Structure 1
Amino acid sequence: MSDLRDAAMSSKAWPFEEARRLLKRYEKAPPEKGYVLFETGYGPSGLPHIGTFGEVLRTTMIRRAFEVISDIPTKLICFSDDLDGMRKVPGNVPNQEELAKHLQKPLTSVPDPFGTHESFGHHNNAMLRRFLDTFGFEYEFYSAREFYRSGQFDEILLRCAEKYDDLMKIMLKSLREERQQSYSIFLPLHPETGRVLYVPMKHVDGVKGEITFDDEDGREWTLPVTGGNVKLQWKPDFGARWAALGVDFEMYGKEHATNEKIYDAICRTLGERPPNHFSYELFLDDKGQKISKSSGNGISIDEWLTYASTESLSYFMYQKPKTAKRLFFDVIPRAVDEYHQQLRAYEGQDAAGRVNNPVFHIHNGDVPVSDMVVTFSMLLNLASASSAEDKAVLWGFINKYAPDATAETHPGMDAAAEHAVRYFQDFVKPTKTFRAPTDQERAALEDLGKALKDAEFALDLIARKNALVGNEDPLPEVDYGDEEFLQSIVFAVGKVHGFEPLRDWFTAIYEVLLGASQGPRFGGFVALYGVAETCALIEKALAGELSVG
């Protein structure tokens, strides 16, 4: 066994923990079907949201982790329940009045409100596949409409008819008494209207594989359960699909966790072994509400990619899948910077460290080298201080720090600069609020500006600070290109002017000079933005020439 496999077998990274659990499923013999099957589900009742993408990404991470520790082949199916009836019109699509005429019809029978595809279900399926293809996922796409109509599901549907009473017992235990009276695991598709009917069964013939029911007008119908004439209610459909496909692993949001025993019981009653599960916490929008396909709240994949890389989104999805996370625009800068921190750490790690590093799972072990010579957060502050309209302005600052860097040699840096300008223009600029300094802050800023021009004055400030804190170290070498020297000046000014706690001094710098409540390590900012430019910024603030909120 390789060093990598050895490390993976003891790794505490959650993809490897789940992969090892899955491997135990076949510790006695490999699967008869010849591969381990991973599945993710999608309900195309609304436009795909970022949570759907996260489910596929996380499943893929576990799949790849499994492939590190096992030689058993794997497959991933993305299953769309596009035969589901449209219960309500989503609030974030056009032509809502037209859609309202097709309530309860299967999503693949509802006209596409965007006018680009055969149906609303086809449109949403295409969007999902585009999102998944953008990230290079390897998967097979399954449509419930084709699955039911093609005959692939017939054997299990006939078994559902045969085991109808047993399956109903499982389901009725979970329902209120009122719901029990009309419930059936089978939902007929009306032969004339095509609508999905929620009606009780008058008779289920397990031998013939037929159901008899009255439609909403009181007319009696008898239909075979095969050939796309019926679909299963969503809970039985979960378990039946597992049985039909031989699914070995499926993850889903915590709203499904309470139904896990039902899904498993359905699958077992149909004679098959339920898969391993993984329940993840939900994503929340900026107001703490669950993100939803129908309401379109939160942030979309396309929106994230407007302001940051695909890898930063993958990093965000990797982190703590069992913890609810706020998914809105202000999480992007941190995700970008933490992703690159992990890239830099990866280079010096051994096998054990690497398999626990998120970037191993993001890149399936083929981890690139970070070319971010300036953090994304710093780029945002540079954009803010300079009111940057394009990335060329930021490259002017970047080249002070890394003179040889270019867009060609550092494509990731170049993309980040463009993303930072967009993010600044859309989110930072509209909320920038400068304030006037207090008397204490004004005096401190005056001294900071003077120290950035006068080395002797700067060293005197540092000496006074050292005396205040009992530091007997020698004074630093004067180097206005060194961010550590610059930071020592900033720190000394705050101490000499009596800011307590010292963070109040840094908060003042950010609010007075940058129009924000927090910001970068200021010595590093000065090194990049420029000493002369910083002095000019201080002078403008003290003269009241920055917009004061």
Structure 2
Amino acid sequence: MAILRHWVVSIADRIEKYWSDERKPILVCNGGLSVSGLQHVGRLRGEIILVEAVRRVLEDRGWKTRHILVLYTQDPWKGKDAQLKVFKDANANRYIGWRLVDVPDPYGCCDNWVEHYWMDFGPYIKDFSEDVEVYTTTDLYRMDSMKKIIGEIIDRRRSVVEVLNKFRGRNPFPDSWMPFEPLCENCKRIDSSEAIHIDLDSYRVLYRCRFCGYEGVSSMENGKLYWRLEWPAIWKALDVGFEPYGKDHATPGGSRDSCIEIAREILRFKPPFGIPYEWVGYTVKGRDLGDMGSSDFIGFTPREWLMVAEPEVLRFYFLVNEPMKRVVLSLDQIYRYVDLYDRAERIFFDVESLDNKDELLLIKESYLLSTRFNPPPRLPFQLPYLHAVLLVQVLPVEDRVEAAIQRLKSTGILNYELESWEIDKLKVRLICADNWLKLCAPDEFKVKLLEYIPEDIARNLDDRDRYLLRILLDTLSVCVWSEQGIKDAMKSLTSKLSRSDQEKLFKSLYLILFGKPYGPRIAPFLSLMSRDVILSRLKSAVEYP
């Protein structure tokens, strides 16, 4: 299946048109992140998954591409409340203004702040994209290509001031302003020093620190460009041809517009084609906590996602939604995203249909992109996530996959022999479900079938409870023992009951099964259990004492 009408295709078309006059032998697709704190999954959306999908389409058309990710490690540490709180040291505010790469690891397990917070993101990029080359700005400022560009900016600093002042309104830079931010070797701040004189031959800068008053000379490799200059300088140094960017840079007359003008007027090169994307929201127990944020420590990491769900589920979720649509993620709702992916897989293989042809094509193409153009040979066996959640709670831990297969066969959910790749998928699904239960599942999903009905529960069932359980026993004795069969039978039964009797029936059923008046969706749970076990439990309740 070819990708024909997806929004990713539209972006690829626009990139090809943008570079039609000077097609690059290798199109560099770039993303950028500041490692200012929690490296959350929202950062995968534009910088990793969007870029990877566009690359796939372009490479399918014959383009050669590279995917680069720049980590802004020279940026100053701001010392926000959330950043300060991760330190046990009450004097952590002394690190404010330090380069991120110089701030110590608050937990003492890594060499610095950047390494600590990168370890829950960097090693897992490969699960969401392939062949991503990671650069840090600390490394870039040591590269000859970057040094040459900085020299161009310093030599044309008066023109730089003129361009930047178009975007600074009432706070223009003076003509004498030096467009470089030195590192103070006395107090270690990179946000407080003023460059007095720059010697490009020795690549050193004379500076005065406004914070501590120190005056000295330091290597320019340790400093950084003003941020509106740093961005286009990196574009030129890495020959970037395409770059997504967060919506905060998309304002007309804002940061990206100023960088484009610097690229064209000062550095004299064609800036990359760009596309904005919306932030990813974060909810916990139904409460929207706002957009995920690194320095505010809002969200969760790729490592945490991979503990509870497959990477292709997140790839699909980001790809089926257009870049400027706000999407929200919640670990306690993980099963919903998995269900969306499983449905897309059924639609892709024409097992499930849709009347809306545009939606059908969007889902099919998003699914194909989420598989990196490598879908399975046929629709695999799908174990719904919440079924997996139930299974891991009723099966022994030892030989769980084999036990799951036997249980699924005995209950009629699985009626053929799985191939090895399907068994691998089943194993991952069970592991994810088990982790979700332990780490972030709401209490209502945590169930344990009682070995027997406790005496106090059996004794407190009244005559109406027993009557309702009796007719349920009769119903389940003859229905088809599958999720749909049980669901249909119970729907037929409850449709004849009053609302109060419906509530009474389910409360009694949950009590005799789990010892509490609530529990999982009952049809999926019952379908995974032996009919004899369930009927025996109902009979014990009805015939007590």
Q: TM-score range by the shorter chain?
A: 0.7 to 0.9
Of the three residues 15, 20, 42, the one matched with 2:13 is 20
Which of residues 44, 52, 60 in structure 1 aligns to 2:52? Answer: 60
User: Structure 1: which 5+ runs fail to align?
Assistant: 456-478, 545-549
Cα distance in 1 between the residues matched to 2:236 and 2:517: 56
In structure 2, distance between residues paired with 1:424 and 1:510: 23
2:427 pairs with one of 414, 431, 440: 414
Question: What is the CA-CA distance between 1:495 and the residue it aligns to?
Answer: 1.8
* Contact 1:284–1:290 (Cα < 8 Å) also in 2: yes
Q: Which residue of 2 aligns with 1:335?
A: 337
1:363 equivalent to 2:376? Answer no
1:249 aligned residue: 242
Instruction: Supply the distance in 2 between the matched residues of 1:310 and 1:338 (Cα, whole angstroms).
Output: 13
What's 1:468 paired with?
none
Q: Is the CA contact 2:49–2:129 (under 8 Å) kept in the aligned structure 1?
A: no
Amino acid across the alignment from 2:497: H
Shift of the 153–375 alpha-carbon distance from structure 1 to 2, 3 Å rule, reads same
Aligned to 1:452: 476
What's the counterpart of residue 139 of structure 1? 132
Contact 1:388–1:421 under 8 Å retained in 2 = no
Residue range with higher mean Cα deviation, 172-181 or 270-279: 172-181
TM-superposed CA distance for 1:299, in Å, is 2.0
Q: Judge conservation of contact 1:444–1:494 (CA < 8 Å) in 2.
A: no
Task: Give the C-alpha shift of residue 139 in structure 1.
Answer: 1.9
How many residue pairs end up in the alignment? 505
CA deviation after TM superposition for structure 1 residue 253, in Å: 2.3
- SS of the residue 2:221 aligns to: coil
**Alignment-derived partner of residue 196 in structure 1:** 190
Q: Give 1:38's aligned amino acid.
A: C
User: Which residue does 2:414 correspond to in 1?
Assistant: 402
Aligned-pair identity (%)? 19
The Cα shift of 1:43 comes to 0.9
Equivalent residue in structure 2 for 1:263, among 251, 259, 263: 259
Give the 3-state SS of the residue equivalent to 1:279 in structure 2: strand
Alignment counterpart, residue 77 of structure 1, candidates 52, 68, 71 = 68
Give the counterpart of 2:387 among 378, 386, 410. 378
User: Structure 1: which amino acid aligns with 2:52?
Assistant: T
SS of the residue aligned with 2:57?
A: helix
What is aligned with 2:481? 481
**Distance change in 2, residues 1:325/1:241 (3 Å):** same
Residue in 2 aligned with 1:301? 302
Higher RCO (C-alpha 8 Å, min separation 6) = 2
Q: Secondary structure at the match of 1:344?
A: helix
Matching residue of 2:450: none
1:235 paired with 2:228, answer yes
Structure 1 Cα separation of the partners of residues 282 and 10 of structure 2: 29
Offset from partner CA, 1:18-75 (integer Å, 9 cap, x none): 11111112223422xx21110011112224222223331221111112212x312111
CA distance in 2, matches of 1:362, 1:377: 22
For the residue of structure 2 that corresponds to 1:496, the secondary structure is: coil
Q: Deviation of residue 433 (structure 1)?
A: 9.6
Distance 1:431 1:499, change over 3 A: closer
Q: Deviations over 1:127-160 (max 9, x none)?
A: 5431223445212221211211232212221221
What is the deviation of 1:273? 1.6
Structure 2: which 5+ runs fail to align?
Answer: 352-356, 448-456
Q: Does 1:276 align with 2:273?
A: yes
Cα distance in 2 for residues equivalent to 1:482 and 1:412? 22
Q: Does 1:105 align with 2:98?
A: yes
User: Given that residues 407 and 413 in structure 1 are in contact (C-alpha distance below 8 angstroms), is that contact kept between their aligned partners in structure 2?
Assistant: no
Bigger mean CA deviation after superposition, 283-292 or 208-217: 208-217
Q: Conserved in 1, the CA contact under 8 Å of 2:198 and 2:204?
A: yes
Contact conserved, 1:86 with 1:104, CA < 8 A, in 2? yes
Q: Could you tell me how far apart the structure 1 residues matched to 2:361 and 2:110 are?
A: 47
CA separation of 1:493 and 1:158: change in aligned 2, threshold 3 A: same
1:496 aligns with 2:496: yes
Distance in 2 (CA, whole Å) between partners of 1:147 and 1:22 is 26
- Give RMSD over aligned pairs: 4.2
